[in-house]
Structure 1
Amino acid sequence: MPTVPNQPVYIHACGSHSALGWNADMIHQHLQAGSTPNMQLSRDWLNDGSETVVGVAAGPLPEISEQFAHQNTHNNRLTLSALLQMDEPIQKAIKEYGADRIAVIVGTSTSGISDGEQAISQWQQSQQLPQHFDYHQQEMANTSRFIAEYYGITGPNYTISTACSSSGRVFISAQRLLKAGLVDAVIAGGADTLCKLTLNGFYGLEALSHQHCNPFSDNRDGINIGEAAAFMLLSLEKPAEQQPCVALMGAGDSSDAHHISAPHPEGAGAEQAMRKALKQAGLKPQNIGYINAHGTATKLNDAMEAKAIERVFGNQTPVSSTKPLTGHTLGAASAIEAAICWHVLHYQLPLPAQINDGKSDEFSIQLAHTQQTLERPAILSNSFAFGGNNVSLIFGYPND
């Protein structure tokens, strides 16, 4: 299929499972309430027994059959929960395009590490590993291979792991594969599940909060970590049956490499990623009706992001962080927040409010934090990662 400048990539289906819920009614209820019972205070995760808030993907998960026993991880069960929400469109795409013309691209930072932790614990107690434990379960490529095997897909399948921008880069890769004509559809998204490795790692960096996170507040003291899986079926072909039709309009990335874990203090890379996304989408800052900020609630990240947003957008565009509703889902963060943007656009929901204590700091006080309807037909979503690996995605209604 020939491509044209600024050609949108259409979203044919979206499925997700996180602390927000696992069906549209639940997700919408929690988005509009600005709270969810699945952000839970727990003493189970930190080695010293301290409390922290985690975003739990509560609710039922599908079983993985004996055929895929070697792929039976919590990460893959959560992934399957999201995928089964869009099973019919996936099957339709396989039938229409062929299994070799569909790609699977996954972003993750934990893969099956939590299952590895449980296996080690069992080994320490009994000197035996769980029956179906396989080292491959905790390799980064595990989930993309599981999806391909589950659906019999023989097109490209691979995993991207760039920390908290992992599943944002997935959309950039999907866009490139489609526009190069290498595939006709892509299953794109991310999955990360709670594990002690990452929680104690962030605790060691003094980046973890012991209470509900407080994005863009002067009183913020760190992140909450969550788990999530979110996936979309993407194609250059416009879905005839969907109204309104939502698409990935543009994507921008950068790598400022300021520090191994801290962002550039002035948000240089963040600004570059946002401007590149706008340019690719053929949009101006005033065309963006809402910004879903990375908004982790750490001192450095929120300050630099507020500066970068103000330079690009001024103070007229509504901004909020939805991480108080999901936790920071790390490698799945871009994907779950892309799914939130899709829900706002597809179901024409009110914009998510800024969830904090109302005490903005000196950097973010100029940002527009009001809850309102989407007045301009495009949303920008940011994800910024260790090493200055930055991604901005724009979703909206194409004019075609």
Structure 2
Amino acid sequence: MADTTAAARVESIEADFFADPHAHYRRWRADGPVHRVRFPDDVVRWVVIGYAEARVALADPRLRKDIAHIDGIVHAKRGSTPSDPNVVALLSHMLSTDPPAHTRLRKLVNKAFTAKRVAALRPRIEQITASLLDAMAERDQVDLMDEFANPLPVTVICELLGVPYADRDDFQTWTRALVTVAGEGEDDERPAASAAMVAYLANLVRAKQTEPADDLLSQLVLADDDGDRLTDRELVSMAFLLLVAGHETTVNLIGNGVNALLRRPEQWRALCADPAGVPAAIEEFLRFDGPVDMATVRYTAEPITLGGTEIPAGELVYVALAAANRDPARFADADTLAVDGQPTGHLAFGHGIHFCVGAPLARLEAEIAYTALLRRFPDLRLADAAATGHWQTSTLIRGLLELPVRVR
């Protein structure tokens, strides 16, 4: 029998949510694994926080991702007009489509984004890492986000895609505006940011079509499956997905993990003493405080029951990966970081057909980054252990805005 209490109760995402979403999830969990939640834009959405329910939801074809349909639902609930076409254009990538369109797009991307191409990046990632750590070594105190966690993945994704590194400030500013939670005053930045991003990426695609190079975006331009190729619109949205997802997630996999480690010095020392444990520790960082809070939105194509709660058709649904990865019903001592454990089954990269295509690259970059950082700066510590830090106001991205550390 479906639970009606969850359908009647409405939680809220307030300003304090972003500093510690886990505290909210713990409170919500006492009342079940599925909740109605009012977001800062005043639209009520459903949020799945239980691990078992999240895993089901991520793979259930009744929960769909077509961005045009989702946009219509959002604006019907707001009583407003549909989004700027540029926003929809940017989000019309494989992460926001359903089969058979998703199957087609993923197949074309897989032809260009191969395991061999990712593995070949190791020497260059090691070189970039060493250079950044050399620069850090010249100072007593640095912001780890600015000096290491951010420039490493940004440099890698720029070189991989063939995006000029000199343009990083522009596309990161546009990205930040687009992933920030919509609320009073926030929407004003989105049309300008989306228009600028579309124009930038369209020019970049045209350049690759005219003069292809040895980079992933050129390979996507040339990708062919029995005569099927990505359209210009699809190339722009795919470039947006790979550019944003390709750096934002790894930036915060590094930042969140280092922050968690340095707040537990005994675990930092243990990992310094046994750097062979880095790959397993990375999986624990992904589980404990991963770079994605809630997976991108879905909608119910028909009524669906999760965790005993019925969600009607035509509703917006978020799967809170961060909450699922701290569900005590799945992970013992879920709120405790344990780098010497063997975490398995976390959902930080999603599950099902939308599992993150860039997961191997994120893991490779994180392995190189952590191994080098531990070896080079075993005495690294927080500049102010009492400071809780400032976090992005995003339900998608879980990441610090700064991480001041003492190098010496």
TM-score, normalised via structure 1 length:
0.25
Bigger radius of gyration among the two:
2
TM-score, normalised via structure 2 length:
0.25
Structure showing the higher strand proportion among its residues:
1
Where relative contact order (Cα < 8 A, 6+ residues apart) is larger, the structure is 2
Structure showing the higher helix proportion among its residues:
2
